[in-house]
Amino acid sequence: MDHGSAPQKRALVASPTPPAQAAAAELADSYDWVPPEEAELIVALGGDGFLLQTLHAMFERRGAPVPVFGMNLGTVGFLMNEWRYHDLDGRLARTKPFKVLPLSMKATTMSGEVFTMPAINEVSMLRETRQTAKLEVSVNDRVVLPELACDGILVATPAGSTAYNLSAQGPILPLGSALLALTPISPFRPRRWRGAILPDKARIAIRVLEPGKRPVSAVADQREVRDVATVEVAIDRSRELTLLFDPEHALDDRITMEQFVS
């Protein structure tokens, strides 16, 4: 998608790591920048973790989220573009947008507290002690697994399917596939269940069995709620986010090719 010209109001944010800070210092004097709350576009320097933090900050800002163009100064940088100092204006004018729909997690604790949090990559549930977690899993109000004995379970978006989900042997989901991955973490029983691929309209509910004896925490990307009793997960279509990529980056192609990495 050709934007014609780069937006006039741009903000620069950077991870606190030395490489990202050095790159930010290079760019700071070469372009005009505004505070993030005034920006029409944000340039983020760092790794995938910092990009997630930048996207989560969109949920706190007034008005609609703005596009984010990330440049990799971290390790993997799967969701980032290559770091280059030159021709930033030209790159921004030629970017290709990708829409990202986050998850919404509603977690209710054993004491009755309710926490609602967004997640861009995944919502995961993990045992808190040496005791195996026992979970009841429902999809669209229908119990599909009366008892799953495991270390945990996660729900991943296509954007997050190559992260924790892939490490847990979950499927890689192409961008735009309108699917979610429901992936167990070290499942013990049922022994043959390795997860499910669901339409992104699905509503997933997970109830902790024996929560006093087998406590479980819930994590929305990087934010944790401990001692949960139930967790409900669904796509939040009111919080659409936009990532910008160089045309040659082809994030959708990179996600597809991850299936052939040995």
161 is in an annotated binding site: no
Told to judge if 141 belongs to the known catalytic residues of this protein, a careful annotator would answer no
140 is in an annotated binding site: no
Asked if residues 249 and 162 have their Cβ atoms less than 8 Å apart, the reply is: no
Tracing tokens 């980032």 back to the chain, one arrives at: 80
Closest CA to 120 of 85, 151, 161, 91: 161
166 is in an annotated binding site: yes
Structure-block tokens of residue 138? 């429902």
11 is in an annotated binding site: no
122 is in an annotated binding site: yes
- Residue 215 CB contacts under 8 Å (≥ 6 apart), including other chains: 110, 127, 128, 129, 131, 208, 226, 227
The residues pairing with 81 across neighbouring beta strands, listed in sequence order, are: 71
162 is in an annotated binding site: yes
Catalytic residue selected from 2, 29, 32, 48: 48
Where would I find the beta strands (DSSP E) of the chain? Answer: 10-14, 41-46, 68-72, 96-100, 103-109, 114-119, 122-127, 133-139, 142-150, 152-156, 179-185, 196-199, 204-209, 216-220, 223-225, 228-235, 241-245
- Burial pattern 111-129, b for ≥16 Cβ within 10 A else e, equals eeeebebbbbbbbbbbbee
Rounded Cα distance, 196 and 175, in Å: 17
Q: How far is CA 204 from CA 152, 155, 178, in A?
A: 15, 9, 15
Structure-block tokens of residue 88? 């930033």
15 is in an annotated binding site: no
Radius of gyration (C-alpha) of the chain in whole angstroms: 20
Closest CA to 165 of 183, 152, 191: 183
72 is in an annotated binding site: no
165 is in an annotated binding site: yes
22 is in an annotated binding site: no
* Annotated binding-site ranges for NAD(+): 48-49, 121-122, 151, 159, 162-167
Catalytically active residues are 48
The annotation places the binding site at 48-49, 121-122, 151, 159, 162-167
